[in-house]
Structure 1
Amino acid sequence: MSKSEASALPRILLVDDDENLLRLMTIRLQGEGYQVATAEGGKEALRLLNTQSFDVVLSDLRMPGLDGLSLFEEIVSLRRDIPVILMTAHGTIQDAVEATQRGVFGFLTKPIDHDALRELLVKAVSQSQSAQNGTWSEEIITRSMQMEQLLDQAFRVAKRDVSVLISGASGTGKELLAKALHKASNRGSKPFVAINCGALPENLLESELFGHAKGAFTGAVNEHQGLFREADGGTLFLDEIGDMPVPLQVKLLRALQEQQIRPVGSSKQIPINVRVISATHKNLAKEMQEQNFREDLYYRLNVVNLTLPSLRERSEDIPLLARYLLAKSAERHGVNVSRFSDDAMQLLATAPWPGNVRQLVNVVEQCVALTQTSVIAAHLVEQALSASEQKWPTLTEARDAFEQNYLLKLLKMTDGNVTRAAELAGRNRTDMHKLMKKHDLHSGDFKPEVA
């Protein structure tokens, strides 16, 4: 076998304090086509893990000093996506349950069933190489340590079928991370369905999520299955979950608790099999204090929280992202643009980026559209940055701005009379007070001054 062929073989780190077992297992695993390194204890294993790369760790559970579970915890803290398989001669159901709850890939009892070990190793190597190849997160361009740590955590979470809440400012790439989580999960071959919870009024959002029966309301000429059923077996991404109206939050919580939905206008309960990933740019803890978000729903959605950093917090990624986006844009538009000038790149690297990655995408697109040479000059970047600061609002931002302006005019017209304002708006007083609180408006500010 050539050196290059040997280097292509999967690498296993075998850890056990029994020399005879190490020798026999090494021979067997090499015969199965693996490269094998051995360690006679947990501390020696950690030294090897710090200097070499491995696809799988196969370790005894009970060893003097650092035992198998403690070794697993150390491996996790190193931020390594290495599947760990534990072996024990004294295995109990409790040991197996504890190991799998902590995230150990597999658990085998001695004497080892070699068919079971072979099957487990094939799966473990496949997962490990998928993580190392980065195919699941290939659209997330980064060399930031902070982002690498986040992706490492995300990959481990992806395999566990729990709800995930992604936090982060607008434009940081929350939907991109949600898609990567879905791709790395066991649901990756099933649908990924996304909806912005702040983009639709309550009645339409309920129909979109849960579906509706034929004739449920005016215009419902056909049955609509809804996004929960569309995402069956896969992932439903609820973007801007913090903007979901409170009454609908109650219905969402019930659906998640009971694992079934009831379409609008129907009496039939339909079972669902969906993983929910949600995202928000809001501080949900504050929203809960102000009773804009239900605490019980928060804990249902926030089993694991992943927080995306702003672009300024990962500033080392700006040149990398700019070059990547430039290449993609040039290819898409069929133009010969190869790079940014040094001055232009310096401007990109030092800009504040309040709109995060989304703003960077827009700046690069504008530069590619306007350049007449293969190298993008600094003045084009300045122009694009200036234009992007007067950014086009998102639908949620535009709606909130309209709502605030509408309320201001209404309260001025009625001299701060909330009852009259509610009548004109076609809402009740409770709703009107909630809207005023949302926009920090006070009726007393609009009452006429007494001479």
Structure 2
Amino acid sequence: MSAAPPVGPGRGAPILVVDDDADMLRLLSMRLTSAGYRVTAVASAESALNQLELSLPQLVLSDVQLPGKDGLALFDIVRARHPALPVILLTAHGTIPDAVEATSRGVFSYLTKPFDGKALLDKISQALALTAPQVDEEHADESWRSEIVSRSPRMAEVLAEARMIAQSDASVLLRGDSGAGKELLARAIHRASPRARKPFVAVNCGAIPENLLESELFGHMKGAFTDAHANHKGLFQQADGGTLLLDEIGDMPPALQVKLLRVLQERAVRPLGSSASIPVDVRIISATHRDLDVAMRNNQFREDLYYRLNVVTLTLPTLGDRREDIPLLANYFLHKLGQKYGKRLSGFAPEALKALTSAQWPGNVRQLYNVVEQVCALSTTPLVPLALVQRALRTPSVEVLSYADAKTKFERDYLVGLLKLTDGNVADAARLADRNRTEFYRLLQKHALTAGHFKADSVAEGASGVAE
């Protein structure tokens, strides 16, 4: 009795089957074809790699024992070229230890021969259920999201929506914690859009001083200010025809928000020192880890600019909300960083991978990358041990903070230190900071600091319980 055709996302999915046993290859092809899958059958790893160059399936099903390159070597190459493509291995009893180790390196699953037909179809169905939302039958090329390694259903939903909105010119607001991968998603949207052949330009609005950000965005003419020795094309002009990512848009100074809104409305920029506007055709993607609704209520972000930028919102899940991706990402980073450090690393010990999967990740994917880089740099064995992972997880990492967050923290701590030193005397604090009082007051307001709270009298009164 043949299996019922698959329903849902797996229906008609293309599967690449690899086995050098002609009878087994024919049996597998018949079983999977009768179950409704589209099967391509080859007899060697080399033929499989050639086939992958021609078209990308949704799953690879391979025997471990093959002539030439074996199934494990095939998996390593597939993982390097197509990190999100699931691989299921078929193994004889003698190669079970190899297959078990392979699962720690990212193989989706393995089955021992002789295998149960229903168990095979169940494993295939599970693998396709994780990857199906990433597949578009009309657009087999998945290179647009090649930098985003994921099998998570949560991420699959985000990617499916991202691909759909990429075809339009609508402004997109990307929300998500620091390190969640907002810039990678912005690049993916650009590559999936009709603007893909034009420039993608990214700027971190919180990392550039206010007095330079306007010039960076809109450009300037020679002589517009003291150091303007030549005409300078702003990022809007550099991105003309393409996509401009305004990262950490929530950190943009209010005065510049007004000018940005005007550029978006008029679709033209006026460089500093110029009397003429220059038309620009740019798709805007903005990103923030801040709650812009709160920022608007506190008059820190303009409501009219918010609605101009927030035509479509995509929210990236934290790494803790997509834990099924941690082994996949960790092994992907390990392979990538192994090449950087010139090391032959085969993967993580099972208990090391379990520690990574269960750890807290406040810094999200960026923090995971940093941890994997540390273990990669220090590892002296092909298989990364638990002790090395535990050491990396215990190490405080400054990289968890984004540049903008670190800059903001330093600026506030610096102001607090000055006010403590001068007992809340703004004139003295501004002098030490080499800033005029107006600018210094603006900095205090930005960080919600009140100079009076640092006066010695205020501290003494607070200690004695005397209220003003």
TM superposition score normalised by structure 1: 0.69
1:398 to 403, 406, 412: 406
**Structure 1 stretches of 5 or more lacking a match?**
1-46, 56-126
Residue 454 of structure 2 corresponds to 446
Partner of 1:376: 384
Note if contact 1:242-1:282 (Cα within 8 Å) is conserved in structure 2. yes
Q: Which amino acid aligns with 2:339?
A: E
Residue type of the partner of 2:205?
Answer: C
1:135-194 superposed Cα distances (whole Å, 9 cap, x missing partner): 211211111111111111111110010100101001000000000000000101100011
Q: Please give the alpha-carbon distance, in whole angstroms, between the structure 2 residues aligned to 1:347 and 1:201.
A: 40
Aligned residues: 334
Task: Identify the match of residue 355 of structure 2 among 333, 336, 347.
Answer: 347
Residue in 1 that maps onto 2:263? 255
**Cα displacement (A) at 1:448:** 1.7
Could you tell me whether the CA contact under 8 Å between 2:178 and 2:401 is conserved in 1? Answer: no
How far apart, CA to CA, are the structure 1 residues paired with 2:403 and 2:10?
50
Cα displacement string for residues 170-225 of structure 1 (whole angstroms, at most 9, x for unaligned residues): 10000000000000001011000111111111121111111110111112111111
What one-letter code is carried by the residue in structure 2 that aligns with 1:328?
A: K
CA distance 1:211–1:130, change in 2 (3 Å): farther
Residues 51, 357 of structure 1: CA spacing in aligned structure 2 closer, same or farther, 3 A cutoff?
closer
Deviation at 1:429, TM superposition (A): 5.8
Residue in structure 2 matched with residue 16 of structure 1 by the alignment:
none
State how far apart, in whole Å, the 2-side matches of 1:259 and 1:413 are.
Answer: 48
Asked whether 1:169 is paired with 2:128, we answer no
Q: CA RMSD in A?
A: 2.4
- Distance of 2:9 and 2:317 partners within structure 1: 27
Q: Output aligned runs, 1:307-346, within 5 Å.
A: 307-346=315-354
The amino acid that maps onto 1:151 is L
Instruction: Give 1:276 shift.
Output: 0.7
* SS of the residue 2:174 aligns to: strand
Shift of residue 50 of structure 1?
A: 6.5
- Counterpart secondary structure, 1:218: coil
Show the counterpart of 1:159. Answer: 167
1:55-92: CA deviation from partner (whole Å, max 9, x where unpaired): 9xxxxxxxxxxxxxxxxxxxxxxxxxxxxxxxxxxxxx
Supply the AA of the counterpart residue of 1:326.
L
Q: Secondary structure at the match of 1:409?
A: helix
Identify the residue that residue 233 of structure 1 maps to in structure 2: 241
- Would the aligned equivalents of 2:144 and 2:192 in 1 still touch at CA under 8 Å? yes
Contact kept? 1:363, 1:388, Cα under 8 Å: no
- Residue 229 of structure 2 corresponds to 221
Task: Kindly state the Cα deviation for residue 437 of structure 1 after the two structures are TM-superposed.
Answer: 4.1
Counterpart in the other structure of 2:282: 274
Aligned-pair CA distance for 1:406: 2.2
Q: Cα deviation per residue 1:312-333 (whole Å; 9 max; x = unaligned)?
A: 0111110111111111111233
Question: TM-score w.r.t. structure 2 length?
Answer: 0.67
- Answering whether residue 207 of structure 2 is matched by residue 187 of structure 1, we say no
Q: How far apart, CA to CA, are the structure 1 residues paired with 2:279 and 2:371? A: 45
2:11 to 41, 52, 58: 52
Pair 1:257–1:53, CA change in 2 (3 A): farther
SS at match of 1:298: helix
Change (3 A) 1:173 1:383: same
- SS of 2:244's equivalent? strand
Q: 1:298 aligns with which of 306, 328, 344?
A: 306
Q: Tell me, yes or no, if the aligned pair for 2:203 and 2:247 is still in contact at 8 Å.
A: yes
Q: CA separation in 1, counterparts of 2:405 and 2:292?
A: 18
Q: CA deviation at 1:132?
A: 4.2
Distance 1:389 1:364 in 2: 12
Which amino acid letter does the alignment assign opposite residue 11 of structure 2? Q
Distance in 2 between residues matched to 1:128 and 1:267, nearest whole Å: 48
